[in-house]
């Protein structure tokens, strides 16, 4: 692979530049510091999967909205909880528990002989989905301690 080959746009097929858009599926978990305020709030991305990449916003948005619709998911934007509505069933998404979020990144891929890195310029939530509607959360991806780890810590 040429060091400047970043793949091709999932919508139009043009070669991607280092800076491009990606459509991502994250397993996330929020932590809240003080009540229902943003103070002390953080979000851990427990796993991330790039579903598609696009050369520009004009290719990205229609394709991402179509991909969500194919999954039966409405574009409702992302939320920061503590409880959001599932973009598929409308039920609660407990943001302090592992859940699925679909995200678009405007990113630059940096490649060096010793490093591959994605520098995210902006990230925008497209939809939050409860574990009933997208239960593909493996135990390892949920970042939950194994029972043996809990016993050893006691």
Of residues 20 and 151, which shows the higher confidence score? Answer: 20
Q: Please, what is the average pLDDT of the chain?
A: 81
Is the pLDDT assigned to residue 90 strictly greater than 60?
yes
Mean pLDDT value across residues 61-82: 90
pLDDT of residue 4: 58
Q: With the C-alpha atoms ordered 49, 55, 60, 62, is the resulting torsion angle positive or negative?
A: negative
pLDDT of residue 154: 46
| Rounded Cα–Cα distance for residues 118 and 73 (Å) | 26
Please, how many CA atoms are within 13 Å of residue 127, restricted to the half-sphere of its CB? 25
Residue 85 near residue 41 (C-beta atoms within 8 A): no
pTM, whole model, 2 decimals?
0.78
pLDDT of residue 138: 56
Mean pLDDT value across residues 122-140: 79
């Amino acid at each position: 692979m040429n060091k400047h080959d970043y793949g091709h746009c999932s919508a139009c097929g043009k070669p991607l530049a280092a800076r491009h858009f990606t459509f991502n599926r994250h397993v996330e978990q929020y932590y809240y510091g003080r009540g229902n305020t943003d103070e002390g709030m953080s979000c851990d991305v427990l796993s991330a999967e790039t579903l598609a990449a696009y050369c520009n916003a004009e290719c990205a948005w229609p394709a991402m909205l179509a991909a969500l619709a194919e999954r039966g998911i409405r574009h409702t934007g992302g939320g920061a909880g503590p409880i959001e509505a599932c973009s598929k069933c409308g039920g609660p998404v407990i943001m302090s528990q592992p859940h699925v979020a679909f995200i678009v990144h405007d990113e630059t891929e940096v490649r060096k002989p010793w490093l591959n890195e994605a520098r995210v310029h902006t990230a925008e939530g497209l939809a939050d989905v409860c574990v009933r509607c997208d239960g593909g959360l493996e135990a390892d991806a949920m970042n939950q301690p194994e029972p043996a780890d809990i016993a050893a810590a006691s």
